[in-house]
Structure 1
Amino acid sequence: MNRESYRKVIDNLTPRADFRVIARWVEPGSNVLDLGCGDGSLLALLGEELDVHGYGIEINDAGVLEAARKGVHVIQQNLEDGLRLFEDQSFDLAILSQTLQTIHQTAAILRETVRVAKEAIVSFPNFGYWPHRMSILGGRMPVSKTLPYQWYNTPNVRVLTIRDFEALAPEAGVRILDRAVLHNGVTISWGHNWRGSLAVYRVTRAP
C-alpha cells in the first residue's frame, strides 16, 4: 500500500481530527514516541496502518492498562520529570497530542521533545477560538468540543493560543516546519487564531 492509500485508510478509521493530521506527517516504519499517550489509540493506529515502532509514556493507571491491552509498549512516568530515559535523537518522531496544555513545565518539555526526536508533532486546543473569547467576555470559562471540561475538573493546567505557541517556540529552541489549524475536522485557511479550535504543528530542534 502506498503512502496516499495509507492516508485514506487513516482518514476513514479515526474520528479525531488531530490524529488524521498527525498520521499524514508520519513516515511508514518510523520509530515514534507518544508523550502522554492516553489509552494508546494513536500508537495502535500508527502501528497497524503505518507499521511504526512506538513507545508511549503515560501517568494515568487506566491509560497505561488500556494501552498495554492494545499491544502498545507503554512506560508509566510523569512527563514533568523529563525524558532522561532517552538519549538525543533516539526517535524519528515524538508526539505531544493534546498533552501540552496539561503540563506545568511547558517550555522544558518542548525542549526535551525535540531533543529526543528528529522531529515532533504537537497538537493543542486553541484558547483563542472566537466562542472561547465570547465565553470569557460573558464571564465564564469556555466549554467546547476541544475544551470539554468545566474549570473545576479540567486536566488542563495551561491555556494557550496559536500566537502564544508560535511566540514560545523560538524561546524553547523549537523551529516550526508545518502547521494545520482545524475546526470540526475542516482545515482553516485564514483567521487561524480566532477561527480554528485545534492546532497541529510539525516542529524540530532549532539550529
Structure 2
Amino acid sequence: MSALHFDEATHTYTENGVRVPSVTQILAPLNDLSFIKPDVLQFKRDLGTAVHKATELYDLGELDESTVSPLVQPYLDGWIRLRAELPFEILGMEERVFHPAHRYAGTYDRLVLLDGKRCIFDLKTGAMFPSYGPQTAAYKNAVEKASGKRVEGRYAIELRDDCTYRLHEMTDPEDWQVFLGCLALHRFKNKHAA
C-alpha cells in the first residue's frame, strides 16, 4: 500500500519515505520562465494558488465570497460561469496521485464526469503553455493506475481576468511520451548531478 505524503512548505512528495519528483518539476525544462521578472513570477504563482483555493472552496460549498480578493474574483467568476454553462459532476478534487511504475507524483485539480466520460480538468490563470498536454497526460495515467478506471478526456481550463474562461482540450497522442521523455531527462540529470 502506497503512503504518499506532500510537504506544503517545500512542495515535495515522498512515497513511503522516499522523495519522488512532481509532475511540475519533471516538466520544468519545457517552460522557460527566465524572461519573467522574479517578483512578477511570484505574483502570478500566488494569484494561481489563491484562485485554485477559491474555486475549491466554491465547489465544496464553503466559500465566503466576501473574503475573495478583487484580484481573484474575476477568475472565480469565470469558474462559476463555466460550472453553469458546462454541466459536469466532480468525482475528485485537488487529489494527490502517485504512479507506482514510473514513480512520480502530482496533484490534479479536478476529476470530472463530462458527457458520460471521466476527464481531468487542470485550472490555469496565466498563459497557455504546450506543457499542459504532457501535464494532464501525467495526471491521467496516475489516476488510471490508482483507480483502475479509464480517463477519457483531458482539459486545461483557462480562467481569465475578464470573468470568462476557455476550455482547451488536450488531444495530442504524443503528450504521454513527451512526459516520459522529460521524466527520463529528470532522472538522468539527478543521477549525474555534481
Q: TM-score, normalized by length of structure 1?
A: 0.30
Q: TM-score, normalized by length of structure 2?
A: 0.31
Whichever structure has more helix as a proportion of its residues is 2
